[in-house]
Structure 1
């Protein structure tokens, strides 16, 4: 119980009720604008967390609470502060979401580019209407060859309608217009000068392509620019199956590695100087990347950590996480519904709360293995339900694979960083580039080994059984002597049972069959052909059909498109990025629509060959 009380005291910090109130206010605001059962449920959950945390914090700090009139004055100030936060959050979210004053459609209008996101298949141009004077935004999806930077002014020539019901993911961010554009749909009115960030990223790109082979360069660019579009599908799928996809995405792991570089380079300086350089290096890393929310979270947390050391305050990781969450939500309130935000904060919360306890249950193991296991397991306590909810996936080999992959990835990142640093120095750049390339080949080999076990599972049913088996891994966290004697055994049993259960379900699947919903269907064969045949008639059928297809966990390599309807082409586009498809066949002569052209670009990007079977059904 002593350990439990210690953990409880660490959690009862003033930032907890404040952050819980911000969470409550944010979910309440969005729930009042676009109701859903999930939003209502989490509104109640955060309200309860707020009430309990207020009671706990007041009870812990009761000796500091003012007496008499000062107490009532303090309570009044706190109530005014909380009320102000509630109304400010609700007002800002409503202003961003409300579009009643905006026209139903736009045509021949001007926009100013605010942000350029390079996705796998398109450029996403997030633009302000009327050169930024209006708070509303438009997102343009572009597939052409032109390049853009922040500040470019465009004239959009096509008609764009305002978003209506069903596009809340855009409207919650203040984006009320969305359109796909080709080169003939806009004119570049004013070209902004290339900014510092773009010049740095261009240097990284040119240097990486110069000193690394293509495959290694793509991973280096993904890690150091935060843009996963450089990664080939084959590489991404292998990392996913090995339970190491987080290695390719700029996140807290990469911040920890980047932060450690100044400690190695400037070891002769004092601790405070090294920490300052380290914080600036992490900030520079955030500046260069596309600033994914996981990286924003890690950067803010590290900056607060350094600040607390500078002012000689005892570092409380949980307090730092709560302050970070509050800052992120106040600036980017819509991120509360994003899987990136939930995974990043969920993993960090699990590590802070449970890593020490897990580490103590594996006391006989070497320190490095014990710490890595403890961090991986504690992070998964919250991320596993989140991934199941959003992606219908679970990986049962990640606990073991990360023991080997994380050290190899860290070594690769350090070697790649130094190679980029001296990338323009003759001979030295070649040596460091070769060294980094070999370190990546080691990482790649480890990923291939663990992905070959095929222990990344897509599921469409049996959630309760899987979560029940997963809860066995929580037993080491219970501070009871009888259970503590079991050490790490419950964790091993939990993951073994989940693997046997999921593998057993796979063996029960028919090697050939038809998945049907209404008039839409997908035929599949997991024999030698490893093929799928699409005949989807309705857009509403795409998601449930694909969920059931994914649950087969088949490595399909060929795809046949029986009709050229929008739902069929849309499903074909999704599957092309999720399965190792190498050939796509069409059973009819296509009309060259924008949808079909978009699909062709996806197939070309993924190296998928085309075949036309005219006249076959």
Structure 2
């Protein structure tokens, strides 16, 4: 495979490298711009001397990527100086999502960056409305935990740089339909198409077709999960699959009327219009650029190079929005397309399937999955085992739904009764798709959780794929791949020989506690697991959405022990949520003074999975990998005041010369009972989220911590208490998960090193 006949592939690679470098290095944009100018001048000089300037030009592309990446990632935002300040704005509303009791929408003030608004109560505005509102600006934060979701980057790539929560009385709708005529045309067209589906199809079917055709993403969570489990979630999106079908269908129609020679000027504007209606997702932009280049090449009698076309599309998108490189949709779309283009023929040649059509479908599916598996595992920590079969059976059926959906959308804008007939025809087909997806998703172990592999293994994997499709002889391919495997195994083996410290991560799970320990010998221990918030009907689950992804990121799908301080939901909820997804050797919990529903649920799951549960009390000592856990509470004397909190499991963890006191949610009564014990510790996990019901001065003085950690999130309880915070700051170095994100302690048993996710 000659790479020089695909110049935009090289440009895309070097541009991406520059953007990636800009994310991890501090860059002086002015200095880089000067260097870029000098390199371009040198390139021109080299070209005039009739010498090859390719390397210089690619270096210039990489530097250009660093400049635009640094500008997008690190430049000061318009709202940076307004954080936590009360402000008023007026602007145009878009992307409204209304739910029970609240609504989320994007506000675009004039000549300012977008703000994501959450409005509680009142009259909710609609897309295109001009509103005036008043609220407190908040800046979105990045990763709160290692391997966690970067909310700030997610919003920023969509042009949103601030958040605001407002009450209904703070919002005034000034004018309806205040957006531009062009925006109204696209918005009204999209709304009419969605209404057309909704008026003549069952809700789930209409939502599915709207998602596939328009990228609405209104599919119910359980249906979406079924598509994820079966490995076909890519069809619930506007993708190259849609554009390919639409282009082929329009070519077919033009051929009927014998005007195929005008395909480019007719089809390209329609594809662009469709892309604008869908909101310009990366997959759609890529597809329309590739389709346009193919149509233009065909109309002027030139050969189209699809690899060059997809690379050109990537360059265009990244030049306008370099942050899209970190978008999972962008990554999957481009890698899947390149994988099909590069791997389809080699895979097809290897398959021994007699039916040619089936062979083609299998080849496309396998080629795409070979390229995207590492990205899927790294991003979602999940792998569908059965995905090949649903892709072979369900995806061809989806193509019928897509064609009928397109026809219905187009005809519905002109003559809705005919569109209703098409929707009625489409409904049983959609029902079949949803039914088959559900059946496949219910197959045991259809999808498995997978720990994130080391990054070097992902690099080695892609190098091996490239070697497989290279022009090397079979024997040389075998030699190179064997060398890659040997190198991987050597790196893995050497990494196990390097001495490691004890690492303690106080996770940011919002209003709750969860701490993860990795011992020097690699044993994994979890202390509490946060819990699930019950507000606004949210489907957010601390266990599934924070704790499990973190454990898989840390390659800790197997836990050597879980310690549970007590059974309040903000400590045990996340554990109950993930117990079916991880292997657990044993569970330790304090002796129970009352068995509530959470404890009963714990015992049911533990008995089902045959996990031994040990109830601990004062005087017990647990030793795991040379680390001792001295149990200080509960004692034989039950504290009747707030019994679940005050009889919680409290223990002092000791690793060589370093000690940490874990206090659960104990209050003053329990602190008084512990005051005469050996509670002096280097690190204090502050009790009850810094509440004024705990952390008495005499207790803090007795612990005498060098470092204190308050695990707390947004709440209505006044936690942490300002006086408690003030006193802890006077006695120790204080960290808070609501401000610092996860707090990571690394110790060799003598020295302690602290890192925080936010601010470092």
Structure 1 length-normalised TM: 0.67
Structure 1 residue 248: Cα displacement: 1.1
Match of 2:13 among 20, 34, 42: 20
Equivalent pair of 1:118/1:227 in contact (CA under 8 Å): no
User: 1:96/1:192 Cα in 2 relative to 1: closer, same or farther (>3 Å)?
Assistant: farther
* 1:305 and 2:294 aligned: yes
Equivalent pair of 1:115/1:125 in contact (CA under 8 Å): yes
* 1:444 and 2:424 aligned: no
Q: How does 1:340-489 map to 2 (within 5 A)?
A: 340-362=329-351, 364-423=353-412, 425=415, 428-453=418-443, 454-460=445-451, 477=469
Q: How does 1:19-418 map to 2 (within 5 A)?
A: 19-33=12-26, 69-71=48-50, 78=57, 82=61, 85=64, 89=68, 92-93=71-72, 96-97=75-76, 102-113=81-92, 115-116=94-95, 118=97, 124-128=104-108, 131-134=109-112, 136-142=113-119, 146-150=124-128, 152-163=129-140, 168-169=152-153, 170=155, 175-193=160-178, 195-228=184-217, 230-267=218-255, 268-362=257-351, 364-418=353-407
Structure 1 residue 458: Cα displacement: 1.7
User: 1:447/1:378 Cα in 2 relative to 1: closer, same or farther (>3 Å)?
Assistant: same
Structure 1 residue 404: Cα displacement: 1.3
Which whole-Å CA distance do the structure 2 matches of 1:516 and 1:95 have between them? Answer: 31
Equivalent pair of 1:358/1:477 in contact (CA under 8 Å): no
3-state SS of paired residue (2:231): coil
Equivalent pair of 1:241/1:395 in contact (CA under 8 Å): yes
Which whole-Å CA distance do the structure 1 matches of 2:320 and 2:357 have between them? Answer: 37
Equivalent pair of 2:19/2:66 in contact (CA under 8 Å): no
3-state SS of paired residue (1:158): strand
Residue-pair matches, total = 495
Deviation digits for residues 103-156 of structure 1, max 9, x if unmatched?
Answer: 34432321423742649997553334xx3324x442223465623324x44333
3-state SS of paired residue (2:25): helix
3-state SS of paired residue (1:71): coil
Structure 1 residue 308: Cα displacement: 2.4
Structure 2 length-normalised TM: 0.55
Which whole-Å CA distance do the structure 2 matches of 1:545 and 1:87 have between them? Answer: 32
3-state SS of paired residue (1:336): helix
Corresponding position of 1:3: none
Equivalent pair of 1:351/1:378 in contact (CA under 8 Å): yes
Equivalent pair of 1:158/1:186 in contact (CA under 8 Å): no
User: 1:189/1:100 Cα in 2 relative to 1: closer, same or farther (>3 Å)?
Assistant: closer
Equivalent pair of 1:108/1:155 in contact (CA under 8 Å): no
289-298 or 180-189, which deviates more: 180-189
Structure 1 spans left out of the alignment, 5+ residues: 1-6, 35-57, 59-64, 484-514, 525-533, 553-560, 579-584, 597-617
Which whole-Å CA distance do the structure 2 matches of 1:78 and 1:545 have between them? Answer: 43
Q: How does 1:531-570 map to 2 (within 5 A)?
A: 543-544=549-550, 563=568
Which whole-Å CA distance do the structure 2 matches of 1:535 and 1:293 have between them? Answer: 30
User: 1:264/1:100 Cα in 2 relative to 1: closer, same or farther (>3 Å)?
Assistant: closer
Tell me how large the CA RMSD over aligned residues is: 4.8
Which whole-Å CA distance do the structure 1 matches of 2:267 and 2:249 have between them? Answer: 8
Structure 1 residue 340: Cα displacement: 0.8
3-state SS of paired residue (2:49): helix
3-state SS of paired residue (2:292): helix
User: 1:83/1:372 Cα in 2 relative to 1: closer, same or farther (>3 Å)?
Assistant: closer
Which whole-Å CA distance do the structure 2 matches of 1:305 and 1:477 have between them? Answer: 24
Equivalent pair of 1:227/1:290 in contact (CA under 8 Å): no
Deviation digits for residues 6-61 of structure 1, max 9, x if unmatched?
Answer: x235x642223322332122222232359xxxxxxxxxxxxxxxxxxxxxxx9xxx
Equivalent pair of 2:92/2:178 in contact (CA under 8 Å): no
Which whole-Å CA distance do the structure 1 matches of 2:178 and 2:77 have between them? Answer: 33
Equivalent pair of 1:258/1:281 in contact (CA under 8 Å): no
Which whole-Å CA distance do the structure 2 matches of 1:67 and 1:545 have between them? Answer: 53
Structure 1 residue 331: Cα displacement: 1.0
Which whole-Å CA distance do the structure 1 matches of 2:269 and 2:336 have between them? Answer: 24
Decide which structure has the larger Cα Rg and report it.
Answer: 2
Q: Which has the higher strand share?
A: 2
94-103 or 198-207, which deviates more: 94-103
3-state SS of paired residue (2:177): coil
Which whole-Å CA distance do the structure 1 matches of 2:290 and 2:82 have between them? Answer: 41
Deviation digits for residues 243-282 of structure 1, max 9, x if unmatched?
Answer: 2111111111111122222123332233332343332332
Which whole-Å CA distance do the structure 2 matches of 1:88 and 1:19 have between them? Answer: 15
3-state SS of paired residue (1:8): coil
Deviation digits for residues 536-585 of structure 1, max 9, x if unmatched?
Answer: 8xx98575369899979xxxxxxxx96465x989x69x99xx9xxxxxx9
User: 1:382/1:187 Cα in 2 relative to 1: closer, same or farther (>3 Å)?
Assistant: same
Deviation digits for residues 177-210 of structure 1, max 9, x if unmatched?
Answer: 2133342343333443461122112211221122
User: 1:259/1:123 Cα in 2 relative to 1: closer, same or farther (>3 Å)?
Assistant: farther
Which whole-Å CA distance do the structure 2 matches of 1:586 and 1:189 have between them? Answer: 49
Deviation digits for residues 447-501 of structure 1, max 9, x if unmatched?
Answer: 233223241112247889x989999999975778879xxxxxxxxxxxxxxxxxx
Corresponding position of 1:521: 529
Equivalent pair of 2:452/2:554 in contact (CA under 8 Å): no
Structure 1 residue 315: Cα displacement: 0.6
Which whole-Å CA distance do the structure 2 matches of 1:461 and 1:78 have between them? Answer: 36
